Amino acid sequence: MNEIQSNLDILVIGAGITGIESSLMLSKSDRKVHLIEKTSYTGGMAIKFEEVFANMECSTCMVAPLQQELLQNKNINLLTLAEVEDVEGCFGNFTVKIHKKARYVDMKNCIGCNACFEPCPVHLKNEFEECLSERKAIYTPFAGALPNAPMIDTKHCLRFNGKDCRACQEACMFEAIDFNQKDEHIQLTIGAIIVATGYTPFDCREIPQYGYGKINNVFTAFEFERLYASNGPTDGKILLKNGKIPKSAAIIHCVGRDNKGYCSSVCCMYSLKFNHYLTSKIPGIKISEFYTDLCIPGKSHQKFYEKIKKMGTMLIRASDIEITEQGEEIAIKYIDVGGKKNSITVDMVILTSAIVPKDDAEKLAKILGITIDEYGFFKEQNQNASSVVTSKPGVFIVGCSQGPKNIQESISQAGAAVGKILSTH
C-alpha cells in the first residue's frame, strides 16, 4: 500500500462564530489552524446582535470568550483582511494562496488605544453600524472589536489619495501606523479546508413595495439590531429618524422569501426577539407582526413565542403587503386571511430580511473546486449523507454558507466538519 504524506494543518475560511468554533475545536487536538477572515475583525454576524433567541443571552458575552481564546491560541494563525486566491491539490495536500491586504497598522505594536481615530479628518459612514453612525478612514468598526487594532481604509484615506496627511501616524505613540505596509501573498500547505463564510441579509430594496430606502423609519433587521445594541450608534436607544421614540412598530416577516424560494428558518424567531427588544426598551409600544406561516421549530422556540404573545403583540397573517408614507407615519396595506383589504399605520417598520449567500460565494466555489446550488449556497455532495461534505474531498462547508440556519445548527455543523476531519485525516 502506498502511503502519501498527508498534511495535518487545516484552513478555515471565515472567522464568524462557526469558523471560530471549528478552529478552537481543531486546535484542541493539536492541529495547526490557519483561520482567514475577509474583514478586519472576528465574530461575523453574531457579534452584531445584542441578544440571541430564545434565551435572550447577550451575544457579546457569548462570543467574546471564544474570540479571546482564539487570539491567545498558539495553534491558530488568524489572518484578517485575507482572502483565498487559489487552491490546488487534494485532500491531505492542498496548496493555498492567500491574499492578505495591508492593514497599515502593525498589530505587534498597536495596543488598541484608539488615539489615531480622533485626528483623522475623513468622516465616513460606518458600514458595521449599517451606516447609522460615522467612522474615520482609520478605524475599528465598533468598540470592543477583536483583534483590537484599527485598519486604514485606503479608498478614503487622504494619504492614499495623493495628500500628505499623516495625522494618525503623528497621534500614534507606538509607531504602529505603517503606510509602507504591503499586501502579502501567502502560500500555505494544508490538509483540509473548512468553509465558514456565512451569509448576507437579503437586500430589501429588491421589494420596492416595502419602501425601504425611500421611507424614513423603515428599517432592516440589521439596522434594528444595531439600534438596540448597547454598543451601537444610539447606545441602545430605539429611536426614529427624527430622534423621537416610536409608539408603534410593525415587523414584516418573510422579506425576500418569495424572491428566493426558501424559508430562511430564523426570521420568525428573530422577529419575536425584536418584540422583546421593543417592549423591553419602550414599555407599552404597540407591535404588529405581519407573517404568513409561523416557523418556530424545535423544543424551546414555541415557549418563547407564547411568552411574546402574552405581551400583547398583534399577530396578523397577511399577504400583498404594501408600505407607504403617510405624513410622519407609515401606512401598511395588506390582505387578511379572509381576503379582505385592510390597513394600519405605525411609526416604525422593521423588515426581517431573508438569509442569502454572500456575493462572492460563486467565485470562492470556483477557487475551491466545489459547486453552488440553485440558490447560491455551497452545495453538499449528497443530501442523504452529511450536509458538511462537498463533492471535493477535503473541503467541508459549515454554517450559513451551506444554507440558512440558526447558531445552534451552525455550531453543530462546525463540530461535524471537525469530526469528519479528525476521524479520517
Partner 1 sequence: MTEQFEPRIVGFLCNWCSYAGADLAGTSKLKIPSSLTPIRVMCSSRIDPVLILTALLQGADGVLIAGCHPGDCHYNEGNYYARRRFAVLKKVVDSLGLESDRLCLSWVSASEGQRFAEVVNEFNEKIKKMGQNPMKKKML
Partner 2 sequence: MNRKIGVYICECGPNIAEKIDIDKVIEAVTSLNDIVTVERYKLLCSEAGKNYLTEQIKKHSLTHLVVAACSPRDHQLTFMEVCENAKINPYLFQLANIREQCAWVTDNKEEATKKAIRLTKAAIARVRCHSPLEKKEIESNPDILIIGGGIAGIEASLQLAHSNRKIYLVEKNSFLGGLIKNFEKKYPEMQPCSASILQKIETIKKISNIKIFTDSEVQEILGFFGNFEVKVKNKKEKDIESFNVGAVVFATGSSLFDINKNPQYGYGKFDNVLTSLEFEQMNLSKKIVLKNNKTPKSVAIIYCVGRTDKGYCSEICCMYSIKFVRYLKDNIPDIKIVNFYSDLCIPGKSHQKFYEQTQGENIDFIRAENIDITKKGEQLNISYDDETNRKKNCIVDMVILSPALEPSVDAAKLAEFTGVPLGDGDFFAEEHEKLNPVSTSTQGVFIAGCAQGPKSISDTIIQAEAVTGKILSSLIPGKKIEPEVKVSQISESFCIGCKTCLDICSYGAITFDEMNKISVVNEVICRGCGNCVAACPSGAITLKHFTFNQIYEELKEAVQ
The site for partner 1 (CB under 8 A) is made up of: 50, 55-62, 64-65, 112, 114, 143-144, 148, 229-231, 235-236
The maximal CA–CA distance of the chain, rounded, in angstroms, is 78
Neighbours of 68 (CB within 10 A): 11
Choice between 21 and 347, CB closer to partner 2: 21
- Cell 475577509 belongs to 38
Regarding 420 and contact with partner 2 (CB under 8 A), the answer is yes
8 A C-beta contact, residue 260 and residue 202: yes
- Choose one: 96-104, 183-191, 300-308, 326-334; the region binding partner 2 (CB under 8 A): 300-308
8 A C-beta contact, residue 249 and residue 286: yes
Which of partner 2, partner 1, none interacts with 420 (beta carbon under 5 to 8 A by kind)? Answer: partner 2
Number of residues located near partner 2, criterion CB under 8 A: 72
Residue from 300, 326, 342, 343 in contact with partner 2 (CB under 8 A): 300
Partners of residue 255 on adjacent β-strands: 353
Choice between 73 and 345, CB closer to partner 2: 73
Residues shown for the chain: 425
Question: What residues from 200 to 219 belong to the interface with partner 2 (CB under 8 A)?
Answer: none
Cell, residue 291: 407573517
320 Ramachandran zone, left/alpha/beta (phi>0; psi -120 to 50): left
Residue from 91, 117, 160, 174 in contact with partner 2 (CB under 8 A): 174
Taking CA 262 as the corner, what is the angle to CA 258 and CA 263, rounded to the nearest 5 degrees?
A: 100
Residue 335: CA count within 13 A, CB half-sphere: 5
CB of 232: closest distance to partner 1 in angstroms?
9
Question: What residues from 238 to 297 belong to the interface with partner 2 (CB under 8 A)?
Answer: 257, 261-266, 293-297
Q: How far apart are CA 358 and CA 21, in angstroms?
A: 20
- Choose one: 93-101, 212-220, 298-306, 363-371; the region binding partner 2 (CB under 8 A): 298-306
Q: How far apart are CA 336 and CA 332, in angstroms?
A: 12
Q: Which of 274, 298, 156 is nearest to 221 (CA)?
A: 274
CB of 383: closest distance to partner 2 in angstroms?
4
Choice between 159 and 226, CB closer to partner 1: 226
Which of partner 1, partner 2, none interacts with 61 (beta carbon under 5 to 8 A by kind)? Answer: partner 1
> x/- site string to partner 2, residues 106 to 145, per CB under 8 A?
--xx-x-x-x------------------------------
Dihedral sign, Cα of residue 243, residue 245, residue 332, residue 302: positive
CB of 378: closest distance to partner 1 in angstroms?
31
Question: What residues from 74 to 93 belong to the interface with partner 2 (CB under 8 A)?
Answer: none
Choice between 225 and 289, CB closer to partner 1: 225
CB of 85: closest distance to partner 2 in angstroms?
28
- List Cα–Cα distances, 51 to 225, 238, 277, in angstroms: 9, 15, 9
CB of 48: closest distance to partner 1 in angstroms?
10
Which of partner 1, partner 2, none interacts with 48 (beta carbon under 5 to 8 A by kind)? Answer: none
Which of partner 2, partner 1, none interacts with 84 (beta carbon under 5 to 8 A by kind)? Answer: none
Choice between 40 and 387, CB closer to partner 2: 387
Which of partner 1, partner 2, none interacts with 208 (beta carbon under 5 to 8 A by kind)? Answer: none
Annotate 95-126 with b (16+ C-beta within 10 A) or e (fewer).
Answer: ebebbbbbbbbeeeebebebebbebbebeeeb
Which of partner 2, partner 1, none interacts with 261 (beta carbon under 5 to 8 A by kind)? Answer: partner 2
Say whether 228 sits in a helix, a strand or coil. Answer: helix
Cβ neighbours of residue 211 closer than 8 Å, sequence gap 6 or more: 218, 323, 324, 325, 330, 349
Question: What residues from 48 to 67 belong to the interface with partner 2 (CB under 8 A)?
Answer: 52, 54-55, 57, 62, 66
Distance from chain centroid for Cα 287 = 26
Which of partner 2, partner 1, none interacts with 342 (beta carbon under 5 to 8 A by kind)? Answer: none
Q: How far apart are CA 22 and CA 414, in angstroms?
A: 5
Regarding 367 and contact with partner 2 (CB under 8 A), the answer is no
CB of 385: closest distance to partner 2 in angstroms?
7
- Give the H or E element holding residue 302: helix 301-310
